[in-house]
A and B are shown apart, each in its own frame.
Chain A
Amino acid sequence: MSISTGTARARQSLPVEPEAGSRRLNTAKALQEAIGSQMEQDDSVFVMGEDVAAYGGIFSSTTGLLEKFGPQRIIDTPISESAFIGLGIGAAVEGMRPIVELMFVDFFGVCMDQIYNHMAKIHYESGGNVRVPMVLMTAVGGGYSDGAQHSQTLWGTFAHLPGMKVVVPSNPYDAKGLMTAAIRSDDPVVYMFHKGVMGLAWMAKNRRSIGAVPEQDYVVPIGKAKVVREGSDVSLVTLSLSVHHSLDVAEQLAGEGISVEVLDLRSLVPLDREAVIATATKTGKVIVVDEDYQSFGLSGEIAATIAEHDPALLKHFSRVCVPDVPIPYARELEYAVLPTAARIEAAVRTAVTA
């Protein structure tokens, strides 16, 4: 395997958010396509993780790649997360571009030292002399009764720790563009896909998990949010699967003359603070919809961002998050704590009358 082509590749520019065209894919296929295309062009890219080869990834992030690239580049690992994530870091330091899958983000507990003390800090500690061009790809989120150890999003935890970029696509177009950008980035990128946006046949899905995706390579820039629906009364600042629910609510309330803007953050690190301030300035009423735990996380960061810019900007602020409780198993309990469309709708109604 050649190990020196990575950095040069990353500097070649690709189209930025081109027209989507008419070809429709689900998010899983869009993600696989981004990995496959970058692997074809750069033989320093490889994929490693549990059940990524013959199985194709438990949530289909790598389906078909073993057949295309073989077991030297699509590599099943033992259940040894510290070892293989650390191996990814070492390989990246030597110029390879590993895409390492942590099957569920919930498992970060067994390997976090490699992630936050090593992957995230080496570039800084080396005074910029050593790069770690690695993608840590992981499944997040609940809604299907997988219990407290398999349903978390935890993006706030990763975003809190300096030195790694964090991206969280909500749809097929962004999934491809952000994965392409992540592979080509010279920084470590944590790529978090919600199981519920992948379009899996065996899980309930929103129609937004299928969408138009260009066949060509392109990037969605890391650190750039997107207004996915314009509105004037209230802003929903959100990400990942909650974008789907937020858009559903916005569409429904439009019929009643309530105009809801939806901002899809897409990246948490770096956070597009300008986009947050812009939507807050426009509506003056902000609701953060976040499937992560409420306290000490993203929703507070959004409030702080706006307040630091102009404390007088907001007429209303609220959050629809997971109250600070482990994700319950029983459906009745889980749906009481997830940011459901019903909770979002109630929050919007409160905001417009505030």
Chain B
Amino acid sequence: MTMETTEVTADLSTGQRLALLREMILIRTFEEAVLREYHADKSPGFDIGKGLIPGEMHLSAGQEPVAAGLCAHLETGDALTATHRPHHLAIAKGMDLRSLAGEIFGRESGLGHGRGGHMHLFDPATHFSCSGIVAEGFPAALGQAFAFQRAGTSNVAAAVAGEGAANAGPFHESLNLAALWKLPVIFVIEDNDWGISVARNASTSVPTNAVRAAGYGMPGVRVEGNDVEAVHAAAGEAVARARAGGGPSLIEVHTLRLWGHFEGDAQGYRPELADVPGRDPIPAYQRKLRDAGLLSEADLAEMEGEARTRVEDAVEHAKAAPAPNPAEALKYVFVEGE
């Protein structure tokens, strides 16, 4: 079993590279808009239950390379399970932005008609789901992969969770079962160094989760540098293997939590806080493409403009949508007519 550090500069076309950047910019634009709207009406002070977007908010800024690099290989019919920090993956998987924003705002127009919220996004159109319970997305991905296998399709399931989740039982049970039954699953660990306030070296007994793959009989790789192209390369291999019937793989990406664990987190526990903005992967990738002569200012302006238009449309749509009717609070507990 391999435990390699990938620093591949993959053989990508300019179009593919620009598409990766475009995806990351769309995600960041969305997260910045949620950040703005979330904090717009919670003062004076900070009251988590107040405002147009209430509740816990876990944003994914800094982790865009994982979503863009992985989802570039996923088809609409492939499944993806995510966590309490799901927006980047939902967007890269192709979720309708209006439905996503509507759910975050708790509107009837939302994906779950306001019943779920931002940690509970279930989208049959893109086979996307997530859970607020750490590590509970792994088993579901196994089941989706099982169904694809039984149906004789070449669809695959990807399960993404944080490095903290890799210490939970369901992760280990799922790796064993996926390998045992050769299920078409791609396990992706987003190592952002932190599980809330607990540093990875205070929670994890091995230097990288890639080594854990060997214990379950599957290939494991670690991608350093929060590098979207390296994620793309590693995910490409793993997805191809799964599609071809070669069974599951594990990829750990060393990524970055650019903001707090949730909004309102002062991050007093985080000693490297001052360095964090300088490690933002998006300006870094822009620089790389610009230096290579692949990205013009006009390209970038167009990407940013398009992202802004799409995101603000989704936000406006959510704000204008009606709130759910309190008289229908009990609707959807069971299938109607059953």
Question: Which of A's residues lie within 8 Å of B, judged by CB?
Answer: 50-51, 53-55, 58, 76-83, 106-107, 109-110, 143-150, 201-204, 323-326, 328-333, 335-337
Contact = CB atoms under 8 A, between A and B. Distances in A.
A114 B329 CA distance: 34
B107 interface: yes
Contact of A149 (B131, B168, B325): B131
Interface string B96-136: 00000001001100001011110110000000000111111
B196 A324 contact: no
Given A55-B197, A55-B269, A145-B55, A203 B169 contact: no
A103 to B, nearest CB: 9
Contacts of B165: 79
Interface string B29-61: 000000000000000011111100011100000
Interface of B: 45-50, 54-56, 103, 106-107, 112, 114-117, 119-120, 131-136, 164-165, 167-170, 195-198, 202-204, 264, 268-269, 323-330, 333
A40 B103 CA distance: 48
Nearest to A195: B48
B333 A145 contact: no
A33 B104 CA distance: 38
18 contacts: A51-B197, A79-B164, A109-B133, A145-B49, A145-B117, A146-B117, A147-B55, A147-B117, A148-B117, A150-B56, A150-B132, A201-B46, A204-B47, A326-B115, A328-B329, A330-B106, A332-B323, A336-B326
B55 A202 contact: no
A325 B106 CA distance: 17
Contacts of B120: 147-149, 329
Contacts of A77: 198, 203
Given A54-B197, A110-B133, A203-B48, A80 B167 contact: yes
Given A55-B196, A147-B120, A325-B330, A333 B115 contact: yes
A169 B169 CA distance: 32
B212 to A, nearest CB: 13
A259 B186 CA distance: 63
A67 B265 CA distance: 20
A323 B170 contact: no
3 nearest CB pairs, A to B: A329-B117, A144-B49, A330-B114
Nearest to A331: B54
B60 to A, nearest CB: 17
Given A110-B169, A330-B114, A333-B324, A146 B133 contact: no
B49 A325 contact: no
A58 B47 contact: no
Given A50-B198, A110-B170, A202 B46 contact: yes
A197 B105 CA distance: 26
A328 B115 contact: yes
B151 to A, nearest CB: 29
Contacts of B49: 143-145, 203-204, 331
B114 A328 contact: yes
A2 B336 CA distance: 60
A64 to B, nearest CB: 13
A329 B323 CA distance: 11
A58 B197 CA distance: 10
Contacts of A325: 329-330, 333
B55 A146 contact: yes
A202 B119 contact: no
**Residue among A107, A328, A335 facing the most chain B CB atoms (10 A cut-off):** A328
A294 to B, nearest CB: 11
A311 to B, nearest CB: 31
A79 B168 CA distance: 6
Given A204-B50, A325-B330, A330-B323, 14 more contacts: A50-B195, A54-B269, A110-B135, A110-B168, A110-B170, A147-B55, A148-B116, A148-B120, A204-B47, A329-B106, A330-B117, A333-B326, A337-B329, A337-B330
B105 to A, nearest CB: 9
**Residue among A106, A109, A330, A331 facing the most chain B CB atoms (10 A cut-off):** A330
A147 B268 contact: no
A201 B328 CA distance: 32
A147 B132 contact: yes
Contacts of A54: 197, 268-269
Contacts of A148: 115-117, 120
Given A78-B203, A329-B116, A332-B326, A145 B45 contact: no
B198 A78 contact: yes
**Residue among B103, B195, B203, B329 facing the most chain A CB atoms (10 A cut-off):** B329
Nearest to A149: B132
A78 B196 contact: no
A303 to B, nearest CB: 22
B273 to A, nearest CB: 13
B106 A145 contact: yes
A54 B265 CA distance: 13
Contacts of A203: 47-49
Given A330-B107, A332-B326, A80 B169 contact: yes
A285 B264 CA distance: 44
Contacts of B197: 51, 53-55, 76
A284 to B, nearest CB: 31
A243 to B, nearest CB: 19
A144 B114 contact: no
Contacts of A50: 195-196, 198
Nearest to A109: B133
A58 B269 CA distance: 13
**Residue among A54, A76, A333 facing the most chain B CB atoms (10 A cut-off):** A333
A51 B115 contact: no
A331 B106 contact: yes
B202 to A, nearest CB: 6
Given A58-B196, A324-B333, A79 B56 contact: no
Nearest to B45: A201
B116 A144 contact: no
Contacts of B103: 329
**Residue among B45, B56, B115, B167 facing the most chain A CB atoms (10 A cut-off):** B115
A333 B114 contact: yes
